Amino acid sequence: MNSRAPISYRPSMERSELEKVVTKKLRYKALNRFIDEAVREKITRELAGTEQSEMGKLLRKLTEVVYEHNGWKMMKLTPEIIDRIEKRAKPVEEGKVRSYPWKAKSHRVKPAVGQG
């Protein structure tokens, strides 16, 4: 069997209407190119979805291990916690306290003795 044999496809809308949208509004040269790209994008998205779910499970497990090791625990946001966060962030937002983005600070941090 030829690996590039045509595949029968019947769109849910009229062919002429579909071609008009694809070539005029989406500016594809041909309907076949649009269908090919759409199929590739869908396959990529579907495969990435399964890989991401596996990666998500791994990251959640890793997060649990790190939190457990450090004695941390996740807290649900309550109105009291939100108020505490906003209270601590307010001086920074108003410019009363100087803040540094981590990237700006990282190049100024000197390595500990014996670490480079």
User: What is the per-residue pLDDT across 38-87, written as a single tens digit (0 to 9) for each?
Assistant: 999 888 888 877 667 777 888 889 988 998 898 888 778 889 988 998 89
Taking residue 76's Cβ as centre, other Cβ atoms within 10 Å add up to 5
Q: CA 62, CA 46: separation in Å to the nearest integer?
A: 24
Mean pLDDT across the stretch 87-111? Answer: 70
| Single pTM value for the model | 0.41
Write out the chain in H/E/C secondary structure: CCCCCCCCCCCCCCHHHHHHHHHHHCCCCCHHHHHHHHHHHHHHHHHHHHHHHHHHHHHHHHHHHHHHHHCCCCCCCCHHHHHHHHHHHHHHHHCCCCCCCHHHHHCCCCCCCCCC
Q: CA 81, CA 93: separation in Å to the nearest integer?
A: 18
Domain range summary for the chain, segments of one domain joined by +: 15-106
- Give me the amino acid identity at 46: E
